[in-house]
Every structure is written in C-alpha cells, then in structure tokens.
Amino acid sequence: MNARPSFFNKSSFEKTTLTKQLPLHFRTIWISDIHLGTRGCQAKRLLEFLKATSCDKLYLVGDIIDGPWCQATCRVSGVS
C-alpha cells in the first residue's frame, strides 16, 4: 500500500515531493476559491497537487483567479 501525503499539512508537503510517488486517481476533484493572483494563493502547492493526481472530472468553482490584476481587467457586462 502506498504512503499518501497529506496535501493539507504544510510541513509534510514541503518534506515530500509528490510527483515522485505514484499518481493518485480520483473520479472527481473539486477545487474551490484558490484566488490565484493574490499573495497567499499557494500556486506552487496547487501545481504539485495537480501533477500528483489524475481525475475523470475536474471542477473549478468559486474564485479561481483573483487579485488586483483581475479586479482591474476582468469585467462581466451587467454586473457591478
């Protein structure tokens, strides 16, 4: 049986390289409110997670891209 790292435990995440382990496969992965573009978004951790997993369906929900860049350039017509 494979030892599977905890993606939510920062200390264990930094001590292991997820991509060296067997990829984990899921039927569905939900990723929500990661706020890419902000200072605390942890994009490197997200990238490592995505490299270490595979799935049949990936749902991106909530605020995926955020921050000053998005606030200045992303506008949806009819929304204030």
Per-domain boundaries in the chain: 25-80
**Distance (Å, whole) CA 72 – CA 47:** 25
pTM: 0.59
φ and ψ at residue 20, rounded to 5 degrees: -80, -15
**Distance (Å, whole) CA 29 – CA 32:** 10
Neighbours of 46 (CB within 10 A): 14
Give the start-end residues of each E strand in the chain. 24-32, 53-61
For the stretch 23-74, pLDDT in tens is 899 999 999 999 998 888 899 999 999 999 999 999 999 988 886 666 666 6
Neighbours of 63 (CB within 10 A): 14
